[in-house]
Amino acid sequence: MKSMITLTINGQRTALEVPPSRTLLELLKGDLHLTGAKLGCGIGECGTCTVIMNGRPVNACLVLAVEADGSDIRTIEGESDGEHMSDLQQAFIDFGAIQCGFCTPGMIMSARALLMRNRNPTRDEIVEAIAGNLCRCTGYKPIIEAIEAVARARNEGGYKTSEDAHAPYVGGAAKRIDGVEKVTGSATFVHDMVLPGMLHARIKISPCASARIVHIDTGKAAAMPGVKAVLAGKDLPYKVGLYLQDKNILARDHVRYQGEMVAAVAAETEEQARAACDAISIQYDVLDPVLDVEEAFASQSRLVHEELGKYSWLKGVFFPKPGTNIAHHQKIRKGDVNDGFARASLITQYEFNNPPVQHAPMETHTAIAQAKPGGMVEITTSAQSPFTVRNLFCHTFGTPHSKVRVRVPYVGGGFGGKAGIHLEPLVYCLSKAAGGRPVKLTCRREEEFNTLPSRQGLHSVVRTGVTKDGKITALDVRYLWDAGAYADYGVNIGRAAAYSGAGPYTIPNCSIDSYVVYTNKVFGTAYRGFGHLEVLWAIERNMDLVAKRLGMDPYDFRMNNLLRTGDTTITGEPFTENHGRPDKCLEIVAKEIGWERRWKQPATRNASGRKLRGVGLAMLHKAPAMPTFTSCSVVIKFNEDASVNVLVSGVDYGQGTYTAFAQIAADELKIPMEKVHIPWDCDTDYTPYDWQTVASRLTVMGGNAIIEAARECLNQIKQMASHALRISPDYLVCENSRVHVKGQPSKGLDYKQLALGYTYPDGNSIGGPVIGHGRCIAHGLTHLHPETGQGLPALDWTYGAHAAEIEVDAETGFIEVLRIVSAFDAGKVINTQQCRSQVIGGVVQGLGSALSEKFIFDKNGCFLNATFKDYKIPTAKDIPQEMRPIFVETPYPAGPHGARGIAEHPMISVPSVIGNAFADATGIEMFEFPLDPETVYMALNYSGSTASVAGNKYVTLETPHCGRQGEP
């Protein structure tokens, strides 16, 4: 049964026939091709689908089209004509209120609805208006500022954009080059894409954490209407994995976590695929799951992977231990810890924990694949790294690389969760089974939580030896990573976080054992900071605890031990003046938060004694974790009018790298930034190789490659000009889109005259189209020694520090973050606005980890909080009153203009600084995050001196004790 409805959409009346179950969002995106509104959850919990209905914002996913009959609907497409931006659109661009752009259309609609009803909204009203719109990237602050600017300007003749025409590109505040596409809703994400003949896929997931698959019956599903392909594990004899091939495309014989994909269907419609999935019957023999990481670490009988010894892995870099649950053991040995402890006057030992969490990008994983005739494969995917998808795909299926094309358009956030390869192999197999029709699989939000990978949990034990005057003599750490069911990036996190695993300090004697341990939980992968947020929770909490045991100011204790020129890191890397200034970062944030005054005075309470205030400090550091041979390349092509296209394969999934690239290219080529175009689609068929977009390495490596490519272009230009002008190229300079003789600006040629080659007045031509390429490879890195971990693993280190002031409501346990000040040694800030946005967004994401986010499993290992309702990422109402990013610029000589990576760093150590401030406010030491209200309340009310509070525990050993715990 269908009903006739009439809607007025963006001023146009439209009559449509719709089935009763169709939502307004499906109608807009599917039937009317208005793809600006986004599907982030489908159940009213994210606001990405917001449209204005009869003057009020609504979630289009929660309105049935038939209910909307007769309504007036306004979508992002009605916000402007696409050429002249509306005030809100322009302000979003101007204020850096956009990163990945997936939340942007909904956010602008909510803001518009507010401004339609309220001429003069207060800041609180603005925050309230967007509190139903989640954004994982920006930290909301720039969004609030943009809306506020528009509201204020209304009484002064309307919002006007401003541009500092004289600001240099590099070091200026250039606006995002993808701003217009994103604020108009025209940026096309894989989520929005439909191909001719495309089928829709759905997956069936495991209901239990550990089980033997006894029987799968797909017969009934295969016969259902619209179904074109049904697959189960037995049909797919392939192993996948990044460093350790331990995973099947669909579970075969065993399921190892609740949520694991067991079967999949491709059908004409999504409903048909879903119905068919429901009709697949699976018989499980349920096993007792291994859930506790310490138990898993110790066990040799209850194994998540019985076959570990038979898998293949990257030898010499990773060290799995067959017969155990250990997927990798990374050792770091420097000096002699026994000796170091013997020289200590105080030895402490503390244990720390943190749970697995999720990236929660607003766009869930999605991929379209087609198995074409002749063995060609086309994949369009929401991934961070097209070449890695291609490479791993080819490894799995033995396909020649040249036959596989991977395309990545706009990506709605990733944060590491879309690195590597995830849905692509399955979708390809479905397409093949369906006779080569393209197939699309978009994860539902629950699946994003439950099936796709997470950030690993970590259990740390930290023993520290210190002298009376506060010098660390020895550090002995054991990290147990709760990797979940598969290794994925987990093993490399265990490796990378180990070589950073002592914090930015000089440790003369250091021993670190980092074990990546399988358990029957959803598996872990890279997440912004790659293990560093977790490790630095332990290390930076430990620094405070040890300082207090010494009776020392934690600031002084850190200053005493920070890495300085002439020191060596724990892997033996000399720390030079080019490494940056961790001490300066600490000094700055301490000063900004008023540390000296605050630390000496006891924690303050408000008049009623219910609110406790405290301050904290925490350091951070991180280097890109990548293979020693990591490389990338860039091509710059001149167009007829001397504009350029810059071809890259590193993905800008919101972090703003392309804008930095455009700045660097314009600066180097001496052309206006508007003349630099960076095509958004990365395409392995057309754009040049880049390893991966991870680890905050893209601006550094890609930036270098751009400079090299630009210089090659200029060389070609000068070569041609030298003939035409009859002068050696050495006497030529480039400026303002022109090449001319030094000191004689009038004697020269416009780039335009040379872009395709130079033609003399008589028609003779020389040269040819200008095209330059640039490359960059990590130089001089080495593998780590298998026994000692000594070596040079890291391209560049970025150091930083946070200081925070918080207020704890002692009655409820609610923590409010009042201020957070963050300093980073960025080497060189390429774009001031975007660095600020990165920091604010990262800090707020870190606060999610610190205060509310965690996976909750029941005793059988089933995942309980797979929705935005129960997995609480920060909303616009959860941001600190004040966030202040500060940048130190100690140039990194091998970086473009001296720049270092900075994308991940803002998030790292945010839980640590909150934990430290909490101890200052309340006198209670927490050993596990998140510090959610209940945990805090319980700690405040039920903790003794060595209490165990909601899983938090600590031990303190007074006597030197060098035996290691639980060494297998």
Residue ranges binding ligand FES (CB under 6 A): 39-42, 44-49, 59, 61, 98-103, 135-138, 362, 413, 654
Burial of 641 (0-12, 13-18, 19+ CB in 10 A): exposed
Q: Which is nearer to ligand FES, 25 or 781 (CB)?
A: 25
Amino acid, res. 521: K
- Which window, 368-376, 599-607, 692-700, 929-937, contacts other proteins (CB under 8 A)? 929-937
> Does the bond joining 891 to the residue before it have cis omega, within 30 degrees of 0?
no
Smallest separation (angstroms) from ligand FES to the CB of 50: 7
CB 276, CB 430: distance < 8 Å: no
Binding site partner of 938, from other proteins, ligand FES, none, Cβ cut-off 5-8 A by kind: other proteins
| 167 in contact with other proteins (CB under 8 A) | no
Report the alpha-carbon distance of residue 537 to residue 916 in Å, rounded. Answer: 10
Binding site partner of 99, from other proteins, ligand FES, none, Cβ cut-off 5-8 A by kind: ligand FES
- With vertex at residue 952, the alpha carbon angle to CA 951 and CA 953, rounded to the nearest 5 degrees, is 115
Q: Give the residue, chosen from 59, 138, 218, 330, that forms a contact with other proteins under the rule CB under 8 A.
A: 59
Smallest separation (angstroms) from other proteins to the CB of 41: 9
Smallest separation (angstroms) from other proteins to the CB of 637: 45
Binding site partner of 144, from other proteins, ligand FES, none, Cβ cut-off 5-8 A by kind: none
CB 514, CB 502: distance < 8 Å: no
Write a three-state SS string for 463-488.
EEEECCCCCEEEEEEEEEEEEECCCC
Smallest separation (angstroms) from ligand FES to the CB of 615: 30
Binding site partner of 23, from ligand FES, other proteins, none, Cβ cut-off 5-8 A by kind: other proteins
Q: Which is nearer to other proteins, 540 or 928 (CB)?
A: 928
Binding site partner of 136, from ligand FES, other proteins, none, Cβ cut-off 5-8 A by kind: ligand FES
- Residue 494: CA count within 13 A, CB half-sphere: 34
Q: Which is nearer to ligand FES, 104 or 492 (CB)?
A: 104
Q: Which is nearer to ligand FES, 108 or 487 (CB)?
A: 108
Binding site partner of 861, from ligand FES, other proteins, none, Cβ cut-off 5-8 A by kind: none
Q: Residue 481 forms beta bridges with which residues?
A: 458, 516
Would you tell me how many other CB atoms lie within 10 Å of the CB of residue 333? 18
Q: Which is nearer to other proteins, 277 or 562 (CB)?
A: 277
| 914 in contact with other proteins (CB under 8 A) | no
Q: Which is nearer to ligand FES, 135 or 808 (CB)?
A: 135
| 834 in contact with other proteins (CB under 8 A) | no
Binding site partner of 69, from ligand FES, other proteins, none, Cβ cut-off 5-8 A by kind: other proteins
Binding site partner of 700, from other proteins, ligand FES, none, Cβ cut-off 5-8 A by kind: none
Tokens of 352: 């720390």
Q: What is the SS3 assignment for 618?
A: strand
- With vertex at residue 911, the alpha carbon angle to CA 907 and CA 914, rounded to the nearest 5 degrees, is 120
Report the alpha-carbon distance of residue 502 to residue 917 in Å, rounded. Answer: 21
Q: In 3-state terms, the chain is what percent helix, strand and coil (to 5)?
A: 30, 25, 45
CB 650, CB 702: distance < 8 Å: yes
Write a three-state SS string for 22-44.
CEHHHHHHHHCCCCCCCCCCCCC
Single out the residue of 302, 113, 107, 264 nearest to residue 185, CA to CA: 107
Would you tell me how many other CB atoms lie within 10 Å of the CB of residue 306? 10
Binding site partner of 524, from ligand FES, other proteins, none, Cβ cut-off 5-8 A by kind: none
Backbone phi, psi, residue 405, to 5°: -115, 125
CB 289, CB 209: distance < 8 Å: yes
Site string for other proteins, 63-102 (x = CB under 8 A): xx-xx-x---------------------------------
Binding site partner of 57, from ligand FES, other proteins, none, Cβ cut-off 5-8 A by kind: other proteins
CB 236, CB 218: distance < 8 Å: no
- Residue 347: CA count within 13 A, CB half-sphere: 19
Residues 885, 890, 892, 893, CA torsion sign: positive
Smallest separation (angstroms) from ligand FES to the CB of 968: 43
Q: Which is nearer to ligand FES, 348 or 381 (CB)?
A: 381
Report the alpha-carbon distance of residue 867 to residue 930 in Å, rounded. Answer: 18
Binding site partner of 784, from ligand FES, other proteins, none, Cβ cut-off 5-8 A by kind: none
Report the alpha-carbon distance of residue 927 to residue 925 in Å, rounded. Answer: 7
Smallest separation (angstroms) from ligand FES to the CB of 680: 15
Q: Which is nearer to ligand FES, 49 or 229 (CB)?
A: 49
Q: Which is nearer to other proteins, 39 or 706 (CB)?
A: 39
Site string for other proteins, 228-267 (x = CB under 8 A): ----------------------------------------
Q: Which is nearer to ligand FES, 77 or 476 (CB)?
A: 77
Interhelix angle 532-550/910-922, nearest 10 degrees: 30
Site string for other proteins, 628-667 (x = CB under 8 A): ----------------------------------------
Report the alpha-carbon distance of residue 17 to residue 615 in Å, rounded. Answer: 60
CB 683, CB 624: distance < 8 Å: no
Q: Which is nearer to ligand FES, 210 or 837 (CB)?
A: 837
- In eight-state DSSP terms, residue 819 is E
Report the alpha-carbon distance of residue 480 to residue 326 in Å, rounded. Answer: 10
Q: Which residues, other chains included, contact 183 with Cβ-Cβ below 8 Å and sequence gap of 6+?
A: 76, 79, 85, 88, 89, 90, 92, 93, 98, 101, 104, 105, 108
Site string for other proteins, 121-160 (x = CB under 8 A): -------xx-xxxx--------------------------
CB 451, CB 441: distance < 8 Å: no
Q: Where are the alpha helices (DSSP H) in 574-695?
A: 582-593, 595-600, 657-669
Binding site partner of 870, from other proteins, ligand FES, none, Cβ cut-off 5-8 A by kind: other proteins
- Which window, 222-230, 395-403, 857-865, 902-910, contacts other proteins (CB under 8 A)? 857-865
| 749 in contact with other proteins (CB under 8 A) | no
Q: Which is nearer to other proteins, 15 or 165 (CB)?
A: 15
Smallest separation (angstroms) from other proteins to the CB of 156: 27
Q: Give the residue, chosen from 760, 934, 958, 968, that forms a contact with other proteins under the rule CB under 8 A.
A: 934
Smallest separation (angstroms) from other proteins to the CB of 57: 5
Residues that bind other proteins (rule: CB under 8 A) add up to a total of 58
Smallest separation (angstroms) from other proteins to the CB of 812: 6
Site string for other proteins, 782-821 (x = CB under 8 A): -----------------------------xxxx-------
CB 741, CB 731: distance < 8 Å: yes
* Cα-to-chain-centroid distance, residue 778: 22
Smallest separation (angstroms) from other proteins to the CB of 134: 8
Smallest separation (angstroms) from other proteins to the CB of 20: 3
Backbone phi, psi, residue 176, to 5°: -55, 135
| 16 in contact with other proteins (CB under 8 A) | no
Report the alpha-carbon distance of residue 153 to residue 160 in Å, rounded. Answer: 8
Interface residues toward other proteins, by CB under 8 A: 1, 3, 20-21, 23, 42-45, 47, 50, 53, 56-59, 61-64, 66-67, 69, 110, 113, 128-129, 131-134, 274, 278, 811-814, 851-852, 856, 858, 864-865, 868-870, 872, 874-878, 932-934, 937-938, 941
